[in-house]
Amino acid sequence: MTRKICVVTGSRAEYGLLYWLLKEIQADDDLELQLIATGMHLSPEFGLTYKLIEQDGFRITAKIEMLLSSDTPVGISKSIGLGIMSFAETFARLKPDILVGLGDRFELFAAVVAAMVSRVPVAHIHGGEATEGVIDEPIRHSITKMSHLHFTSTEAYRKRVIQLGEQPKRVFNVGALGLDNIRNLRLLGRAELEKRLNFTLGEKNLLVTFHPVTLETSTSESQFKALLAALDELKKTKVIFTKPNADTDGRILIKLIDDYVARRKGTAVAFTTMGQLLYLSTLQYVDAVVGNSSSGIIEMPSFKKGTINIGDRQKGRIKAASVIDCAPDKASLANAFSKLFSPAFQNKMKTVSNPYGRSGASLKIFRALKTSPLDGLLKKTFYDIVSLQSRSRAAN
């Protein structure tokens, strides 16, 4: 009997990470891929990126409109509610055998809530991680407790998912999906990259990707202005911006980026969406990723390049020696840039290792999705570490 695997994606970055897993599922005769596009994929403001999914040869089984034209807390909450209702109707129609989702965004949270009530088992990718500055942190752990199979990016994160009460035999350390793209994609050379970007790289280059810190109130504008002021102090440096996701206060950052690029024509450029090929190709030729995106933590160390990680958005994540943490103010940023371009730091980059592994996560997840028994998954038993430790001490 064909196993129906339903994968949900709500953003350009998430789809890029899922690409090779989707290809494996699509190519297997024993599996049926059900692909749901939602969130920013369906928004003109964020580039209607569902079209990129179709161009890649995937058939979108369902499109779920849930993103309201608002980035306020009320707007996000209403989007979640709308998403739960729409996903419930879709699951009733598609009848998937298992739902697959990656990460910690509110679109996935809505899907998993609906799946839980619909009695659809859930496989969760990138659980157990910590991002203490954003609302994604409690969303991620909530998704873990509603999920049945878990695929983590490090052994430490695997242990954390087990600490949350999940059965060890259902928690797999597979590494980070993003590293599969680095291995599998034929990245662009400098000349072709500049042509695609319509932008000439300079003596020094930075890729800036900065998102709102959603557990802080009204800090996005002041923090980003501090970053822009620090960038203005750099000499012979060109800047490539990727615009933020549909998070609270995201539109404030988009306007600041647009104004900055307009002011620095020829030395700065911005993209609503780049896609994995263009994004990873850019990482090869910039001196650092600057901002608070997970890509600077997970993917950039594989290029043996630096990352300036600003503020608390990624607080709690495991980080390579290539990551420079700094406060979101101009003085701290200036110090971070000084360290980044120092000969000592650049020399250290030659031997940096990536704590998220190398590659191969997509194939490991695919094999588990194909072979793991689904009977009995829904009735979970809490794995009580404290009770087990007490019994072990009593036995000794």
pLDDT digits (tens, 9 = 90+) for 26-85: 999 999 999 999 998 998 877 888 999 999 999 999 999 998 877 788 988 999 999 999
pLDDT at 247: 64
Strand order in the sheet with 268-271: 268-271, 237-242, 204-209, 288-291, 306-310, 323-326
pLDDT digits (tens, 9 = 90+) for 312-352: 888 889 999 999 999 999 999 999 999 999 999 999 999 99
User: What is the SS3 assignment for 150?
Assistant: strand
- Residue 63 backbone phi and psi in degrees, to 5: -115, 125
**Domain spans, the chain:** 3-175+360-391, 187-351
pLDDT digits (tens, 9 = 90+) for 198-219: 999 999 999 999 987 766 666 7
Distance, CA of 183 to CA of 321 (rounded, Å): 21
For residue 242, what is the DSSP state? E
CATH tag for 187-351 (out of 3.40.640.10, 3.40.50.300, 3.40.50.920, 3.40.50.2000): 3.40.50.2000
Would 3-175+360-391 and 187-351 be classified into the same CATH topology? Answer: yes
pLDDT at 213: 72
pTM (predicted TM-score): 0.86
pLDDT digits (tens, 9 = 90+) for 223-234: 999 999 999 999
User: Tokens 């002011």, residue?
Assistant: 263
- Examine the pLDDT at 257 and tell me if it is beyond 90: yes
User: Tokens 């990551």, residue?
Assistant: 323
Q: Is residue 223 within a helix (H) or strand (E), and if so which, with residue range?
A: helix 220-232
- Examine the pLDDT at 396 and tell me if it is beyond 70: no
pLDDT digits (tens, 9 = 90+) for 280-318: 999 999 999 999 999 999 999 999 999 999 998 888 899
Beta-bridge mates of residue 33: 5
- Examine the pLDDT at 395 and tell me if it is beyond 70: no
Mean pLDDT of the chain: 92
* Domain 3-175+360-391: assigned CATH number: 3.40.50.2000
Compute, in degrees rounded to 10, the torsion defined by CA atoms 316, 317, 320, 322.
-80
